[in-house]
């Protein structure tokens, strides 16, 4: 009873013995999102927030949820998500909801709507089951100002880019995202990004980056991301951190050391990660040299018609198949969606008949042996026809485990509502099933912290991510012994199991394993928007 009194004393709500709560969750084991050991308690909800924690079984309530034998956690926050592509067609975001995800953060990899406000306004009028927030994308801003030109901005152009970041932060962006692996962002020098990071820092934002190189150049790329945060004066995050390529196994020990050294200097550097040994991006972005896309697709086509330039492009594709994204074998590259939605580079119609086939399969079907040289030629021909998204099996399991164990790593899917990679439907459940329950790599409490309290802290969502009186009631009721990812590379849209109930802003979005029609999600805004309101 002492626990009840202490917790009730800290809440801003008045808990009358006669006035019913809207929801009471009883009998569950509570994991609070801060990494603390679990405890048994009831949770009372009034409106969209947690009103009380303690012994509430006899308190009147409009709705009672019996969580006996189950665990209650904060809703999971996916800090790297691409669901804006499909949220208007599938507003339930079912694949995420069945994992206990209550908040999706869009605008990663340097790609976001610019300006941001029209999209936020449109989303605020859209009935969806999950919350959504945005980062403002450096790559999208650069494209708006410089198109696909491979050069430094002038002082006037840089000032315009800074003003676009400023506008995005005022509109409600959580921070600045960069995708220095992708064109045209890859054409930017570090100093350009630092200048924009300083602008985001003025509004309390953070920096999150798909780093410039996740293969052989990974150490320099991590150093660059740290430098952006250190000189930009804001928190900085290596997103979907992975170690890929035959020569790089085990180098997560070195990248984590870089992050630790930065933190010791006072840099607020963190990591996020998905738990799979394969990545997903466009064929062109993964295999082609970035300089080949300068000037856009027409310029790429001209380069491929020039024998000497084509030979240079082919040589780089061969190197990446051998040593990086291809993992040394064209069979490791499997096509997903071809055409505009699957290809980040072309925006033209691709060959849908390739979907589900490997680069080796397609090369062999053309009558040639699937050597690396022949596969590189086939990749060029596919890109000329519009390109494809692809899965790349090139990541090392031992590095996944080391990165996940690191205390300042959070879990994120890098997924979308419809994506031919199991991370969309499986990331959060996979961590709990494989790395907590089966491998005992981390504790359940720490896994939940990496999925809720830690990303909420990074995003400055100070009213979410923890189970505390006064916090927003984004809550999950699940069975830790049964939670399981069902999605595979062959069947990426199989929903996860083990999550029974999900509440978003105090209302049920998933109940007894079924999605409700309540759609209680909201648009969430960053600290710059809140400051402006004040």
- CATH for 76-277+395-459+466-530 is 3.20.20.140
Does 1 score more than 80 pLDDT? no
By the 10 Å C-beta count (0-12 exposed, 13-18 middle, 19+ buried), 15 is classed as middle
Query: Strand pairing partners for 497?
Result: 484
Where in the chain do CATH 3.20.20.140 domains reside? Answer: 76-277+395-459+466-530
**pLDDT reported for residue 186:** 97
As a whole number of angstroms, the distance between CA 112 and CA 176 comes to: 10
Whether residue 7 is predicted with pLDDT greater than 50 in this model: the reply is: no
Residue 221 pLDDT more than 50? yes
User: Which residues of 420-532 form beta strands (DSSP E)?
Assistant: 475-478, 499-504, 507-511, 514-515
Q: How confident is the model at residue 349 (pLDDT cuts 50, 70, 90)?
A: low
Name the least confident of 40-44, 313-317, 348-352: 348-352
CA distances from 416 to 104, 235, 413 (A): 10, 25, 8
> What pLDDT score does 19 carry?
87
Residues whose CB is less than 8 angstroms from the CB of residue 234 and which lie 6 or more positions away in sequence, other chains included? 175, 197, 198, 200, 201, 205, 206, 207, 268
pLDDT over 90 at 127, yes or no: yes
Residues 409-431 have pLDDT tens digits of 999 999 999 999 999 999 999 99
Residues 78-100, mean pLDDT to the nearest whole number? 97
How much is the average pLDDT of 41-57? 97
pLDDT of 390 > 90? The answer is: yes
* pTM of this prediction exceeds 0.85: yes
Angle (CA) 258-264-270 rounded to 5° is 55
pLDDT of residue 339: 67
Q: Please say whether the dihedral angle defined by the alpha carbons of residues 306, 307, 312 and 318, taken in this order, is positive or negative.
A: positive
What confidence tier does 341 reach under pLDDT thresholds 50, 70, 90? very low
Per-residue confidence at 530, pLDDT binned at 50, 70, 90?
Answer: low
If pLDDT is split at 50, 70 and 90, which confidence band does 18 have? low
SS3 content of the chain, % helix, strand, coil (to 5): 35, 20, 40
Question: Is the pLDDT score of 348 beyond 80?
Answer: no
Q: Tell me the mean pLDDT in the region 312-337.
A: 95
Nearest to 258 by CA among 221, 233, 232, 231: 221
Q: Is the pLDDT of residue 232 over 60?
A: yes
Closest of 400, 390, 424 to residue 104, by C-alpha: 424
Which of the four pLDDT bands, split at 50, 70 and 90, describes residue 3? very low
| pLDDT tier at 338, thresholds 50, 70, 90 | confident
Q: Quick check: 350 pLDDT over 80?
A: no
Taking residues 368-373, report their average pLDDT: 97
**What is the percent of the chain where pLDDT is above 90?**
91
Q: Report whether pLDDT(50) > 80.
A: yes
Look at residue 10 in the predicted model and tell me its pLDDT: 41
- In this prediction, residues 63-91 reach a mean pLDDT of 97
List all residues 6 or more positions away from 68 whose beta carbon is below 8 Å from its beta carbon: 26, 27, 28
Q: What is the mean pLDDT of the chain?
A: 93
Mean pLDDT, rounded, for 379-387:
93
Listed in sequence order, the residues at least 6 apart from 263 whose beta carbon sits closer than 8 Å to its beta carbon are 269, 408
pLDDT at position 9 over 50: no
């Amino acid at each position: 009873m002492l626990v009840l009194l202490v917790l009730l004393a800290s809440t801003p709500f008045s808990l009358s013995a006669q006035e019913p709560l809207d929801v009471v969750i009883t009998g569950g084991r509570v994991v609070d999102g801060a990494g603390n050991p679990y405890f048994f308690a009831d949770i009372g909800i009034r409106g969209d927030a947690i009103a009380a924690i303690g012994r509430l079984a006899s308190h009147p309530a409009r709705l009672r949820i019996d969580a006996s034998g189950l665990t209650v956690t904060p809703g999971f926050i996916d800090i790297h998500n691409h669901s804006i592509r499909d949220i208007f067609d599938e507003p339930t975001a079912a694949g995420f909801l069945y994992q206990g995800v209550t908040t999706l953060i869009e605008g990663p990899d340097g790609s976001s709507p610019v300006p941001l406000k029209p999209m936020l306004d449109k989303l605020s009028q859209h009935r969806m089951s999950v919350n959504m927030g945005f980062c403002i994308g450096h790559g999208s801003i650069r494209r708006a100002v410089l198109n696909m030109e491979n050069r430094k901005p002038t002082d006037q152009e840089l000032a315009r880019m800074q003003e676009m970041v400023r506008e995005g932060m005022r509109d409600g962006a959580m921070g600045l995202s960069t995708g220095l692996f992708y064109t045209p962002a890859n054409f930017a020098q570090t100093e350009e990004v630092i200048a924009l990071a300083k602008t985001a820092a003025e509004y309390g934002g953070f920096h999150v980056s798909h780093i410039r190189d996740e293969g052989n150049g990974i150490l320099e790329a991590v150093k660059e991301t740290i430098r952006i945060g250190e000189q930009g004066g804001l928190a900085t995050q290596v997103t979907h951190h992975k170690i890929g390529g035959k020569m790089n196994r085990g180098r997560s020990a070195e990248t984590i050391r870089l992050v630790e050294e930065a933190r010791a200097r006072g840099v607020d550097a963190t990591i996020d990660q998905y738990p799979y040994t394969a990545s997903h991006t466009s064929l062109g972005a993964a295999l082609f040299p970035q300089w080949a896309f300068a000037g856009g697709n027409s310029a790429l086509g001209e380069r491929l018609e020039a024998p000497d330039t084509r030979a240079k492009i082919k040589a780089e594709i061969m190197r990446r198949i051998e040593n990086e994204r291809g993992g040394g074998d064209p069979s490791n590259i499997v096509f997903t969606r071809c055409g505009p939605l699957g290809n980040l580079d072309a925006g033209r119609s691709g060959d849908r008949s390739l979907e589900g086939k490997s680069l080796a399969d397609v090369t062999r079907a053309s009558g040639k042996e699937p050597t690396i040289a022949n596969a590189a030629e086939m990749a060029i021909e596919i890109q000329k026809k519009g390109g494809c998204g692809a899965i790349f099996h090139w990541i090392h399991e031992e590095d996944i485990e080391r990165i996940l164990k690191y205390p300042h790593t959070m879990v994120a899917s890098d997924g979308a509502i419809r994506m031919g990679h199991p991370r969309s439907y499986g990331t959060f459940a996979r961590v709990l099933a494989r790395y907590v329950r089966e491998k005992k790599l981390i504790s359940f409490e720490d896994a939940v912290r990496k999925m809720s309290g830690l990303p909420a802290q990074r995003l400055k969502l100070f009213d979410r991510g923890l189970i505390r009186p006064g916090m927003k009631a984004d809550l999950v009721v699940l069975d830790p012994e049964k939670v399981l990812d069902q999605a595979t590379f062959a069947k990426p849209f199989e929903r996860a199991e083990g999550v029974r109930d999900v509440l978003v802003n105090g209302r049920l979005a998933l109940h007894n394993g079924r999605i409700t029609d309540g759609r209680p999600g909201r648009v969430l805004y960053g600290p710059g928007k809140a400051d402006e309101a004040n």
